[in-house]
Structure 1
Amino acid sequence: MKKRQFQKLGNSISSFQQIKKESEKYWKKIDLEICWGFQIQEGSKWKKGLSEPELEDFQKQLNIVFPESLKNYYRTMNGLDKPGIDNNGGNGDIEFGSIFYSYPDDIPLIKAKIEWIMEANHVTEDIIKNQNVPSIIPYLGHRFLILDNEEVVLSMLGQDIILWGDNLSKGIALDIFHFPNSKPKKIDTNSFWNKKIL
């Protein structure tokens, strides 16, 4: 994917179809690095997108109403057909695991990631209710879509929270194609993520 294509990405189905096509082409020949964290295997392809009944069930199981951007993403693709590989920096056993979370396989993992961020940032049920904290949903590793009117993507690793992408498609493209991210902006965890950028 070229930088000008990236800059035009929105949250339409056609944007996600473009990411799907370009990423599968990109993954046809990809070398694994000796590093920490899950990497995409050569020849990986996206699994088929979800039907409307599957999307409904996905939302019910998470007790989250998906915005149209997230629905369009999952209508187009639903995780990868090969697991990610973590070679642990060459210092141990190779591990396999999910990269882009999929329905229904990764529902427990998605729930656990949400709980972890809530606990790490001391977000209780009372705070959610009284301070109108928007829902969050991870789609890859520690990348979370914030489910409010702005729908930005944050990289959330405990209390280390930065702006990752202006929208879901750009957040996904940044991780796949490794475009240089603009200067990351730190999030004020005391205002949680609903007030966003300092």
Structure 2
Amino acid sequence: MKKRQFKKLDNSISSFQWIKKKSEKYWQKVDLMECWGFQIQEGSKWKKGLSESELEDFQKQLNITFPESLKNYYRTMNGLDKPGIDNNGGEGEIDFGPTFYSYPEDIPLIKARIEWIMEANRVTEDILKNQNVPPIIPYLGHRFLILDHEEHVLSMYGDDIIFWGGNLSKGIAKDIFPIRHAEKKKIDTSSFWNKKIGRY
């Protein structure tokens, strides 16, 4: 993806529609790498976006209020029509599983991912109440949208946390396309989750 195109990505429906169109074209021919983790299968397409009533139910089931960015993403697409494929580095059996999380089938997995991050970072109920901890929601693997005023995307694997994208559309684009340029973004280090970035 060209740097100019990447910089223009915002959280509008038109940006997510652009990502949807370009990614489906990109996935028409996919060469799987010998690595660990789920990769997108060749010919994968996005499933239809969610209705307003489905979005409402999605939020209720997670007990999270979605920002407009996340609503626009799920209004446009809702996971893929093919499962991801994990060839375990070419050393074991092939596994299949979700890549981009979808409603309603991945709700238990989304809840489990959130719980894992909270436990790994020792975020107790008391801390949630008293330290203004923003909610988090994964959209793919261990990529999480932080639901605060900045709405950055962080890659969160247990307590190993790094900055991934300045907004949701840029985070998604970075996961799909071979983006070689670094995104420069000033990070609010007073935010609870941002304080944990790059500790390792």
Alignment TM-score, normalising by the size of structure 1: 0.93
- The corresponding residue for 1:33 is 33
* CA distance in structure 1 between the aligned counterparts of 2:158 and 2:181, rounded to whole angstroms: 20
**1:49·1:75 contact (CA, 8 Å) conserved in 2?**
yes
- The corresponding residue for 2:54 is 54
- The corresponding residue for 1:15 is 15
Structure 1 unaligned regions, length at least 5: none
**1:134·1:194 contact (CA, 8 Å) conserved in 2?**
no
SS in 1 for 2:38: coil
The question of 1:44 aligning with 2:49 is answered no
Superposition deviation, residue 7 in structure 1: 1.2
Superposition deviation, residue 5 in structure 1: 1.1
Superposition deviation, residue 66 in structure 1: 0.1
* CA distance in structure 1 between the aligned counterparts of 2:101 and 2:181, rounded to whole angstroms: 22
Superposition deviation, residue 6 in structure 1: 1.2
- The corresponding residue for 1:192 is 192
* CA distance in structure 1 between the aligned counterparts of 2:129 and 2:86, rounded to whole angstroms: 38
Superposition deviation, residue 3 in structure 1: 2.7
Deviations 1:124-166 (A, max 9, x none): 1110110110000000000000001100000001111011000
Alignment TM-score, normalising by the size of structure 2: 0.92
**2:46·2:81 contact (CA, 8 Å) conserved in 1?**
yes
Residue 113 and residue 181 in structure 1: after superposition, are their counterparts in 2 closer, same or farther (change >3 A)? farther
SS in 2 for 1:7: helix
Runs ≥4 in structure 1, deviation > 4 angstroms?
194-198
Superposition deviation, residue 192 in structure 1: 3.4
Superposition deviation, residue 183 in structure 1: 7.6
* CA distance in structure 2 between the aligned counterparts of 1:191 and 1:7, rounded to whole angstroms: 24
Q: AA paired with 1:104?
A: P
Q: AA paired with 2:42?
A: E
SS in 2 for 1:156: strand
- The corresponding residue for 2:153 is 153
**1:162·1:184 contact (CA, 8 Å) conserved in 2?**
no
Equivalent residues in 2 for 1:1-150, closer than 5 Å: 1-150=1-150
* CA distance in structure 1 between the aligned counterparts of 2:128 and 2:82, rounded to whole angstroms: 36
Determine what percentage of the aligned residue pairs are the same residue. 82
SS in 1 for 2:113: helix
**2:145·2:153 contact (CA, 8 Å) conserved in 1?**
yes
Residue 30 and residue 149 in structure 1: after superposition, are their counterparts in 2 closer, same or farther (change >3 A)? same
Structure 2 unaligned regions, length at least 5: none
Superposition deviation, residue 2 in structure 1: 3.0
* CA distance in structure 2 between the aligned counterparts of 1:2 and 1:22, rounded to whole angstroms: 12
* CA distance in structure 2 between the aligned counterparts of 1:183 and 1:59, rounded to whole angstroms: 30
SS in 2 for 1:50: coil
**1:30·1:41 contact (CA, 8 Å) conserved in 2?**
yes
SS in 2 for 1:122: coil
SS in 1 for 2:161: strand
Residue 111 and residue 32 in structure 1: after superposition, are their counterparts in 2 closer, same or farther (change >3 A)? same
**2:87·2:93 contact (CA, 8 Å) conserved in 1?**
yes
Root-mean-square deviation (Å): 2.3
Deviations 1:85-140 (A, max 9, x none): 00001111100000000000000000000000000000011101101100000000
